[in-house]
Amino acid sequence: DTGVSQDPRHKITKRGQNVTFRCDPISEHNRLYWYRQTLGQGPEFLTYFQNEAQLEKSRLLSDRFSAERPKGSFSTLEIQRTEQGDSAMYLCASSLTGENYGYTFGSGTRLTVV
Amino acid sequence: TQLLEQSPQFLSIQEGENLTVYCNSSSVFSSLQWYRQEPGEGPVLLVTVVTGGEVKKLKRLTFQFGDARKDSSLHITAAQPGDTGLYLCAGDPRNSGNTPLVFGKGTRLSVIA
C-alpha cells in the first residue's frame, strides 16, 4: 500500500471556476476525512465518511462544497464558484474505526484562487 | 476560543539544545495525538497518549499526558535540523471515538545547524 494519495498536488484556478480534488485512502481504512489548512493554522475539519456514508459536515463546509465517497473507496471534494478565501491546502486522511487510531494523511492539494 | 492551545507558536533554537512544547485545553480528552508536518506535506502521526500521566518516548522525543488528561507536552532532547517542522496536537473533542480530531494551531520549530 502506498499510503493516502491526493490529486492534484497543486491547483490554480480563477475565481468563479469549479474545482474537484480526489483522494485515494489506504484500502483497509473505512474512514476518510477532509481537512483544510491555511497559513499559520492547524488542519480544520470539513467532513468525514465511514465507508460510503457521509457522517458529519463542518459548518465550514458551505453549500458550494460537496464531497462524495462512492462505493466507500476513493473520495472527491468539489468546490463550486471558487472564491479567493477558498485558497488553502486541502488535506485528506484515512483511518480505521475506533478510538485512538491515528490518521494517515495524504500530501494535500494546494489550491490557489486568483 | 481554540479547543487546543499550543505554545509557543514559534520556536527557533540551535542544534543540540533541548526544548519543550505544550498543548493545553480546558477540556478533558480520552487521548491526545501528536503529529509533525513538514512544508508542503501532510501531518505524520508521532504518538498517541491515552492514560493520564502517561509518558512515551520516541528516540529523542518524550511525550507526556497530564494527570487530568487536559494537557500534554513534547520534549525534544539534543534537537537536530531534521526535527524542524510544525508540531500539532490533536484530540477527539467528544471523547466518543467516533468524532473527527480537532487540531491545535501547532508549534513551528526551526532547528539551526
Mean pLDDT of B18-42: 94
Residues of A in contact with B102 (CB under 8 A): 45
Q: What percent of chain B has pLDDT over 70?
A: 96
Give the integer Cα–Cα distance in Å for A53 and A75: 11
> CA A94, CA A49: separation in Å to the nearest integer?
9
Could you report the per-residue pLDDT of B80-104, keeping only the tens digit for each? 999 999 999 999 877 776 678 999 9
Q: Give the rounded distance of the alpha carbon of B1 from its chain centre.
A: 19
The pLDDT assigned to B1 comes to: 53
Kindly state whether B85 is in contact with chain A, defined as any CB-CB distance less than 8 angstroms. no
* Partner A contacted by B7 (CB < 8 A): no
Q: For residue B45, what pLDDT band results from cuts at 50, 70 and 90? A: very high
Q: What is the pLDDT of residue A1?
A: 56
Nearest to B105 among A4, A40, A98 (CB): A40
**Which strand ranges, in their side-by-side order, compose the sheet holding B19-24?**
B5-7, B19-24, B71-76, B61-65, B55-58
What's the grid cell of residue B53? Answer: 500521566
Residue B2 has pLDDT above 70, yes or no: no
pLDDT at A106: 98
Band (pLDDT 50/70/90 cuts) for residue B30 is confident
Q: What is the pLDDT along chain A (114 residues), one digit of tens a residue?
A: 579 999 999 999 999 999 999 999 999 999 999 999 999 899 999 999 999 999 999 988 899 999 999 988 999 999 999 999 999 999 999 999 876 789 999 999 999 999
